[in-house]
Amino acid sequence: MANKRLSMRKIKDVLRLHFEKGLGFRQISRSLNISHNSVGGYLRRARLAGISWPLPDDMTEQALEALLFPPHPKAKPDTRPMPDWATVHTERKRRSVTLALLWEEYKADNPDGLQYSQFCERYRAFVGKLKPSMRQVHLAGEKLFVDYAGQTISIQDPGTGEVREAQVFVAVLGASNYTFAEVTWSQSLPDWIGSHVRAFAFFGGVPHILVPDNLRSGVSKASRYEPELNATYNDMARHYGTAVVPTRVRKPKDKSKVEVGVLIVERWILARLRNLTFFSLLEANIAVSELLTDLNTRPFQKLPGCRREAFETLDLPALLPLPGEQYEYADWKLATVNIDYHIEVDRHYYSVPHSLVKKRLEVRITERAIECFHKGQRVASHVRSHKKGRHTTIPEHMPKSHREYAGWTPEKIKNWAAKIGPSVMAFVEKVMESRQHPVQGFRSAMGVIRLAKQYDNPRLEAACARALHIGSYSYKSVASILKSGLDQQPLHTPVDDAPTPAHGNLRGRIYYGREGQC
């Protein structure tokens, strides 16, 4: 109030100096230390109000202020019919629906209604009052935002009492905000892929685009423009006919939908479970599932309906259909085809066409199968085997008479071995004879021959002689003899008071070269 009285006093001084003293705008400005624009404004208001100088004795400051600053006339209430802005916002999420189309439909029902510019302006004002996660317009069925919650769920082992922290996966559909959440042991690639598969089953369809954050499980190399996707994640997306478009680095608006979804899951689900003790992953997921149903049926605050209703109306009809078979988790690796036209997976060897020797292949590994690809084309497929050191060979992959491509033959390998010594040649011959096909022994034979570069020819010859003597025809046996120096000990016929019992896991004293042994 003191500031207003001071302001009115200055206005009176402006009137006095102008009418009584005849001073100009700039002179009054310097005298009262106010801008000359303010001086002009006050005098213009006085002229419009018909105020002259001197002021009447009975005029109060309040009366003068009312004359100089009259209230604006009240606008007439807008009697035009207004659109239901919540419905407009929901309809915009349908594919190909624009504001112009919605305005035309509104105008057809209300010829005296808002013009297009006013329609857009008032719609934007309505959207500005919504939560950030609801402001963006996402097309129905288009995007699924996926991430992990920051909070975890504690699961106690009933036997040991050990407590383990489990992760919470969250997926939110863009148009309806329909939410999926589940508990997994980790954020590893198998759990990440499995959560996606279960999310698609939960939704009953597949979104056109997956939008993950730059989580290492899904994105091998983060980049604002060209992120490099994990091969398994890309393989899963290809199986379901969807695309993966990670959020851009340092662009928080790209993932605001899932961040709000994560926050809601933490507040409405995890916070309610904070005082419960779970003894298995299944127990935790049952509890989460029950609260998830409550979350998806909770009414929106500023939009009609709830997440489930919006999902059934918008997203569900627009989702891609689920494929006939559920995706089977697969790892990918790069493998170079060996001279025996086999590639190695978990120490088992699988054949590919012999023309691909020395080529680099992509290998898809599932629990049941091994698939090999060269330049995007599948060149071999095998039932997976977990037998270590064994071979799975398709006869059609072998060249005529089991001869390797580019001249690799058992005779050539034996000739190379003979240049080192007769025992080396005899050993590689035994190696190839012990296999179903000689080519399956090429890898071991060549490995033994290459040991000469590390230990020299005489030592390799002695090591092969010892390996032949004990009847152990493998690369590991020769490498072990050389590493332990047994090749430098004399080879004798053992004399033993008590014979060693025959057993598959006992090599006998000969192998270890102790006193009284060879």
pLDDT digit string (tens) for 32-67? Answer: 888 888 888 888 888 888 887 888 877 887 888 888
Q: Which of 4-8, 95-99, 195-199, 304-308 has the highest mean pLDDT?
A: 195-199
Give the C-alpha separation, 451 to 459, whole Å: 9
Strand residues in 337-376 grouped as ranges (E) = 342-345, 348-351, 360-365, 369-374
Asked whether the predicted pLDDT for residue 389 surpasses 70, the reply is yes
pLDDT tier, 250 (very low <50, low <70, confident <90, very high otherwise): low
pLDDT at 498: 46
Residue of higher predicted confidence among 330 and 93: 330
How would you write 32-71 as a 3-class SS string? HCCCHHHHHHHHHHHHHHCCCCCCCCCCCHHHHHHHHCCC
Report the predicted TM-score, pTM, of the whole model to 2 decimal places: 0.53
Asked whether the predicted pLDDT for residue 205 surpasses 80, the reply is yes
Phi/psi of residue 380, nearest 5 degrees: -160, 150
Please name which of 81, 326, 317, 292 lies closest in space to residue 208, comparing C-alpha atoms.
317
251: CB partners within 8 A, 6+ apart? 224
Print burial letters for 303-323: b (CB count within 10 Å at least 16), e (below 16).
Answer: bebbbbbbbebbbbebbeebe
pLDDT tier, 495 (very low <50, low <70, confident <90, very high otherwise): very low
Q: What is the pLDDT of residues 445-470, one digit of tens each?
A: 888 888 988 888 899 989 999 998 88
Asked whether the predicted pLDDT for residue 169 surpasses 90, the reply is yes
Phi/psi of residue 297, nearest 5 degrees: -105, 0
Asked whether the predicted pLDDT for residue 402 surpasses 70, the reply is no
Residue of higher predicted confidence among 243 and 399: 243
